Amino acid sequence: MGMGHHGSVESDMTGILAIETATDACSVAVLLDGQIRERYAVAPRRHSQLLFTMLEDLLPGGNLADLGIQAIAYGCGPGSFTGLRIAASAVQGLAYSCNLPAIALSTLTVLAQSARRRGDVGAGDTVLSTIDARINEVYSAVYIYEDNLAVLREGPWACAPTDLSPAEFETLCAVGSGCHFLHDFPLGLRAKIRSCTPDLLPAARDMIPLALARFECGDFQSPRQVQPVYVRDEISWKKLNEQGRYR
């Protein structure tokens, strides 16, 4: 799948486009020739305008395959209904028109990966990744890191903050907008949380290491399989869960 130029490792030869619009942050990142370029903005309700400007900026002309892109990663949720639709429709259109595979990544996984890159958490930490679901509920999952990649340990869940009860992890580092409900978490859970990063939002650049691992395993979707995951549609949520461990 290489693009004909030299690279010492497989990832240097892989071109990935990543799109993340599931939260208030809109971001696009591109891996080409081993280099990551990104555009990132916190701009609620402006994702649809921003997304195409960012794409044109990073990949002028729009023929992704000719530019060296081999797969398109996207945040499939959980998150904002509108934001998820924007990403899924853009990715589906690009994947069809450029005949490229897509890689669906959980927004909670990307959030945990962003926390690791930024140094909000350490490589040995167990992370509670949590997003405000906007109706007095939170989306949450627990992650560890293997080779610096976020790996799902438990969850994901959509529930009231008062009902959130991960299994017996000794300590947790909480990240994401769901941390704003910290005072509503059960007492036992609060006692385990040793750090909290409530303002962290997922960034597309952090999808790239996750997407590379998936791509190298051949774990991707056809364009027609591209779809957001709405947590309250229990069938879709189960489908996401049944896809195995997020890498």
* pLDDT tens for each residue of 128-151: 999 999 889 999 999 999 999 999
Domain membership flag for residue 246: no
5 lies in a domain?
Answer: no
Both 114 and 49 in a single domain? Answer: no
User: Does residue 213 sit in the same domain as residue 187?
Assistant: no
More confident site: 236 or 90: 90
Cβ neighbour number for residue 95 with a 10 Å cutoff: 24
The range of the structural domain enclosing residue 134 comes to 108-197
> Do 20 and 99 share a domain, yes or no?
yes
Same domain, 28 and 64: yes
> Rounded mean pLDDT of 213-236?
80
Residues 95 and 138 in one domain: no
Q: Is the pLDDT of residue 228 over 50?
A: yes
Q: Check whether residue 153 and residue 113 sit in a common domain.
A: yes
Give domain status of residue 138, yes or no: yes
Question: Does residue 1 lie in a domain region?
Answer: no
> Does residue 241 have a pLDDT over 60?
no
Same domain membership, residue 19 and residue 90? yes
- Same-domain check for residues 206 and 193: no
Task: State whether 38 and 143 are in the same domain.
Answer: no
pTM, 2 dp: 0.89
- Category of 106 on φ-ψ map: left (φ > 0), alpha (ψ -120 to 50) or beta: beta
Of 195, 35, 212, 228, which Cα lies nearest the Cα of 125? 195
| pLDDT exceeds cutoff 50 at 235 | no
pLDDT > 70 fraction of the chain, expressed in percent and rounded: 88
Residues 221, 99 share a domain: yes
Same domain, 141 and 186: yes
Q: Which of 88, 29, 96 is nearest to 57 (CA)?
A: 29
Q: What is the dihedral of CA 148, 229, 163, 170, to 10 degrees?
A: -10
Q: Is residue 25 part of a domain?
A: yes
Decide: 89 and 52 in contact? Cβ < 8 Å.
no
Looking at the structure of the chain, the number of domains it has is 2
Predicted confidence (pLDDT) at residue 75 exceeds the cutoff of 50: yes
CATH number of the CATH domain containing 185? 3.30.420.40
Q: Please report the DSSP string for 92-140 in residue order.
A: HHHHHHHT--EEEEEHHHHHHHHHHHHTSS-TT--EEEEEE-SSS-EEE
Is residue 4 one of the residues assigned to a domain? no
Q: What are phi and psi of 153, to 5 degrees?
A: -105, -40
How many CA atoms within 13 Å lie on the side-chain side of 229?
25
Is the pLDDT score of 230 beyond 80? no
In angstroms, rounded to a whole number, what is the distance separating the alpha carbons of residues 217 and 11? Answer: 12
User: How far apart are alpha carbons 113 and 109 in whole angstroms?
Assistant: 6
Domain-embedded: residue 21: yes
User: How far is it, in rounded angstroms, from Cα 73 to Cα 48?
Assistant: 17
- Distance between CA atoms of residues 177 and 133, nearest Å: 9
Is residue 201 over pLDDT 80? Answer: yes
Compute the CA torsion angle 66, 39, 42, 20 (nearest 10 deg): 40
Helix axes 47-58 and 81-98, enclosed angle (nearest 10) = 30
- Residue 2 covered by a domain: no
Are residues 207 and 95 located together in one domain of the fold?
Answer: yes
At 234, is the pLDDT very low, low, confident or very high (cuts 50, 70, 90)? very low
> d(Cα 71, Cα 217) in Å, to the nearest integer?
13
Q: Which residues pair with 21 in a beta bridge?
A: none
